Amino acid sequence: MGDMHAVRNIVILTGAGISAESGLKTFRAEDGLWEEHRVEDVCTPQAFARDPDLVQRFYDMRRAAALAAEPNAAHEALATLDAEWPGELLIVTQNIDDLHERAGARRVLHMHGEVLSAWCTGCDMRHRWEGALLGDPPCPACGEASLRPDIVWFGEMPYEMDRIFAALAGADLFVSIGTSGAVYPAAGFVQEAATRGAATLELNLERSLGSRMFDETRLGPASELVPRWVAEVLA
Ligand code: APR
Q: Are 179 and 186 in contact (CB under 8 A)?
A: yes
Residue 207 clears pLDDT 90, i.e. is over it: yes
* Cα angle for residues 94, 175, 4 (degrees, 5° grid): 150
Q: What is the mean pLDDT of residues 68-82?
A: 98
Q: Which helix (H) or strand (E) holds 178?
A: none
Q: Does ligand 1 have an atom closer than 6 angstroms to the CB of 208? A: yes
Q: Which atom of ligand 1 is nearest to the CA of 28?
A: 21
Residues with Cβ < 8 Å from 210, sequence gap 6 or more?
176, 181, 187, 190, 191, 202
**What's the pLDDT score for residue 1?**
59
The pLDDT value given to residue 32: 84
Residue 5: per-residue pLDDT: 73
What is the average pLDDT across 78-90? 98
Protein residue whose Cα sits closest to atom 29 of ligand 1:
183
Q: Which amino acid is at 110?
A: H
39-74 tens-digit pLDDT: 899 999 999 999 999 999 999 999 999 999 999 999
Catalytic status, residue 110? no
